[in-house]
Amino acid sequence: MQKSRGSGPPSADTSTLCERLRVHGKPIVIGVAGDSGSGKSTYTKGIEWLLGQTLVSQISLDGYHAEDRATRRASGRSPLDPKANHLAQAVEHLTALRAGESVQIPIYDHTQGCFQPPRQHTPTPIIVVEGLHTLYSEFQALLDFSIYVDTDAAVKHAWKHQRDTQERGYADAEAEHEIARRAHHYQQWIAQQQTHADVVLRIHPSELGRLAPGQLATELPETCYHLEVIVKPGDPDQPALYFPVDLNNMTRNPAMPFMLATVPSQLEQQTVNVLHVDGHMPPAALATLEQEICAFAGLDSPAGTHHSDPARPPTVRFAQMLLAWPVLGHIAALIE
């Protein structure tokens, strides 16, 4: 494959990122936090999708809940309450994994609402840990990079209701009751973690209709969202990452509706760059972007098993890459 303009790690070392990961020795831990139903798993799958399961493994902190669904119904406790989770055990397991030891990870089956037998987890070069409390203080020293997913309440409500009723066996009324009950719990126990994240992903309903001077001339699918990716500038230098757009297509009929912008900002007394993404990303541009990132990692194509999943909307696909790119750059700097 012809070498991409964005390829090559920011180092004199001629080995690829994937090759260096295989011999690095110490696992690199990526922490992902956010509310239940916020899209944590969906939007962070890009790392595993790009590098493959031999290099990347996933751990859900849901297995460290102290109670199963039936017990919670009786006790009234919320899994968002950190005291309703075995966080100390999770810290112990993550510490062991970072030291190269295999551990027995507890498993929670959301479909049945009960715990399953634990499974042995052997450290991989990259471990992605996702859960409700992943960026709590007791975990921060164990994380090499952190992501927080902050989803608009209306979007999260729709996602969570659909997931809980169709995949987790909740009745409609029970799902609505849980969503309402947990809204306060989210503000009390979860939301404050985003101040500790290296990258924050915010997900809103699409705003392209608001930009139309009259009426939007095309119907947007329900899977179209306005995404904000908030990153702290000054991260390790990375090669250029190209996202080609054919401007001629923007004047044709029909035009593909999409928006891409970056806004330097001040947030919580910190300088950040905010990337805004909305609408349909051009397929050819997405393919080129994937190729650029794969070349940076030393791959001909994404190594994950679900990279060709047709169900992934273009905006989701683009967001996965936007999240994966700073993570890979940070990893490249760590293992130079």
The per-residue pLDDT for 309 is: 55
Query: CA 25, 28, 31: angle at the middle one, nearest 5?
Result: 160
**Residue 280 to residue 257: CA distance in whole angstroms:** 6
Mean pLDDT, residues 245-253 taken together: 79
Q: How confident is the model at residue 3 (pLDDT cuts 50, 70, 90)?
A: very low
Mean pLDDT, residues 26-44 taken together: 91
- Angle between the N-to-C axes of helices 283-297 and 314-334, in degrees from 0 to 180, rounded to the nearest 10: 20
Question: Does 76 score more than 60 pLDDT?
Answer: yes
Q: What percentage of residues in the chain have a pLDDT greater than 70? A: 92
pTM of the full structure: 0.89
Mean pLDDT of the chain, nearest integer: 88
Question: Does 199 score more than 90 pLDDT?
Answer: yes
Mean pLDDT, residues 37-54 taken together: 87
Tokens 């791959």 belong to residue: 299
Q: Which CATH architecture has domain 17-334?
A: 3-Layer(aba) Sandwich (3.40)
Give the residue with greater pLDDT, 44 vs 273: 273
No. of H helices and E strands in the chain? 10, 10
The per-residue pLDDT for 266 is: 92
Mean pLDDT, residues 109-130 taken together: 96
For residue 296, count CB atoms less than 10 angstroms from its CB and return exposed for 0-12, middle for 13-18, buried for 19 or more. Answer: buried
What six digits make up the tokens of 327?
């993570």
The per-residue pLDDT for 307 is: 45
User: Residue-wise over 162-188: b if at least 16 C-beta within 10 A, else e?
Assistant: eebeeeeebeeeebbebbeebeebbee
Would you call the peptide bond into 10 cis, given omega within 30 degrees of 0 as the criterion? no
**Residue 289 to residue 295: CA distance in whole angstroms:** 10
Q: Where are the domains of the chain?
A: 17-334
